[in-house]
Structures are given as structure tokens and as C-alpha cells.
Amino acid sequence: MDIQNYKLHKKILVAVDCIIFGFDGSELKALLIKRGFEPERGKWSLMGGFVGEDENADKAALRVLHQLTGMKDVYVEQLHTFTDVNRDTAGRVISIAYFALINIAAHNKQLEQEHESRWFPLDKMPALIFDHKKMVEKAKAMLRQKVATHPVGFELLAKKFTLPQLQNLYEAIYETELDKRNFAKKMLSLGILKKLDEKERESSKKGAFYYVFDTVKYRKMESNALKFI
């Protein structure tokens, strides 16, 4: 290191911002808030917060997510740290961006009103403050990459889901159409889905069998180098 005394260096405000993904059955969405304070009050923004003295960034992200959604045990993952000198118009703030995957149905809708938050389809996002658009773009890229090799797509669905639902999710993430025969074949061949005896009967007359993600089987797999797509 150049200068050796910690005290000679300026400290910086450290924030976290969360890209919260949800899936409504046909579209992939992100949860945004109307910023309630200056600067940029009233503009659309990612949910964020400052990292406190007694918490690491992961905790800060989970805290912030809980505030907005009422949910704990959310799947979050650190994405990238944004550090440009003038990224925040109110002063030097670096932001550690996280992406979160939640079951859109499970979050507390009352809190949506408090925070003036709203779900936006990814292709219909409003203008965002600061560098938040960059964050969303990066999160989208990471989601695609992650979901191709790790069983995290399930986080966006209810515990029980049907194969057509899962396929819709992948189609939304990759903005592409998939052949359902090939899709079912591949997903089932991974050996991490457990078929239930129960059917979902909302979206079709015939009904589609529910599946659950088999965590136990997944953990037992040596390699964990799956290919979902």
C-alpha cells in the first residue's frame, strides 16, 4: 500500500442497493420505489440503505429487503460495487449492489403502499436515479448466467410449481421460446425435481402436476455443475 497510516485516508459513505426480481407467471419484473427523500425525491429508484457500523453488507441488504417486502430468508447475492466519484449527486457514496429473487406472491403488499413501490416489467422500466439503470442491466445479465447453472430460478416461484410455470419463467428470463418436450426432458433429467400427486387447476382444464425442488437431492450431487439450459 502507498500510504500506510489508515488515518490519512478519507472515509466514504457505503450503501447497498437491491435489484429485486419477481415473476408474475408471464413477465419478469423488478420492484422499484419512489424515493422519499432528497436528492432526487419522487423519482424511481432501487431500494437501498446505508451499511451500518455493526453490520456487513449482506446483512444490510437483507435488512433493506425486509423493510420493503416483509420477507426474511430471501435469496440475495452480491452483484457489483459501484464507486464512481460522482455517482450520487449528494456526495461521495459507493454502493454495493445486490440482486434478490423473491416469490412475488409472498411479499407484503401493505408495505408496497408505505414505500410507494411498484413492480415494473423489465422492458418497461422508468428512468432511474443515479447509476441504478446500470445496476439493473448488470443484474439481468447475472440472473441469466446464474439461472443457467444454479437452481435459483425456483426462488422466483412458489414452493409448488408446475413445469409450464417453470418453462414460462425460463422463457421470460431468456426472452426466448423453448420447446416444452425438450424442456421437460432436461429439467427432469437433472433429478432435482420431485413430482407431487397434486395438480394446479387454475390455468388449464386438464391441470398440470405440481413439482417441488428437491433440496436434499441437490445437495447430494457431487458436482453441482448443472446445466439448466
Partner DNA sequence: TCAAAAGTGTTATCTATACACCCATGT
Partner DNA sequence: ACATGGGTGTATAGATAACACTTTTGA
Please report, as ranges, the residues that interact with DNA according to CB under 7 A.
Answer: 162-164, 179-182, 184-186, 199, 201, 203-209, 227
Q: Of 63 and 160, which CB lies nearer to its own copies in the complex structure?
A: 63
Computed from CA positions of residues 189, 195, 200, 201, in that sequence, does the dihedral angle turn out positive or negative? positive
Binding site for its own copies (CB under 8 A): 1-6, 9-14, 36-38, 47-58, 63-64, 67, 78, 80-81, 83-85, 90-94, 96
In the chain the first and final C-alpha atoms are separated, in Å, by 44
Radius of gyration of the chain (CA): 20
| Of the candidates 218, 121, 200, the residue with the CA atom closest to the CA atom of residue 163 | 200
Residue with smaller CB distance to its own copies, 1 or 127:
1
CB of 110 to its own copies, least distance (A): 17
* Unique residue bearing C-alpha cell 422508468: 126
To DNA, the closest distance from the beta carbon of 202 in angstroms equals 10
Q: With CB cut-offs between 5 and 8 Å by kind, which of its own copies, DNA, none does residue 182 bind?
A: DNA
Give which of DNA, its own copies, none residue 123 binds (C-beta under 5 to 8 Å, depending on kind).
Answer: none
Nearest approach in angstroms of CB 52 to its own copies is 7
Q: Which does 180 bind (CB under 5 to 8 A by kind): its own copies, DNA, none?
A: DNA
Give CA–CA dist 55/134, Å, rounded: 26
C-alpha distances out from residue 36 to 13, 33, 116, 181, Å? 19, 8, 9, 48
Q: Which is nearer to its own copies, 54 or 197 (CB)?
A: 54
Contact between 96 and 19 under an 8 Å Cβ cutoff? The reply is: no
CB of 144 to DNA, least distance (A): 15
208 touches which of DNA, its own copies, none (CB within 5 to 8 A by kind)?
A: DNA
| From the list DNA, its own copies, none, partner contacted by residue 209 (C-beta under 5 to 8 A by kind) | DNA
Q: In the 8-state DSSP scheme, what is residue 1?
A: -
Is the C-alpha dihedral spanning 35, 41, 45, 49 positive or negative? Answer: negative
How crowded is residue 202: how many other Cβ atoms within 10 Å of its Cβ? 8
- Smallest separation (angstroms) from DNA to the CB of 120: 25
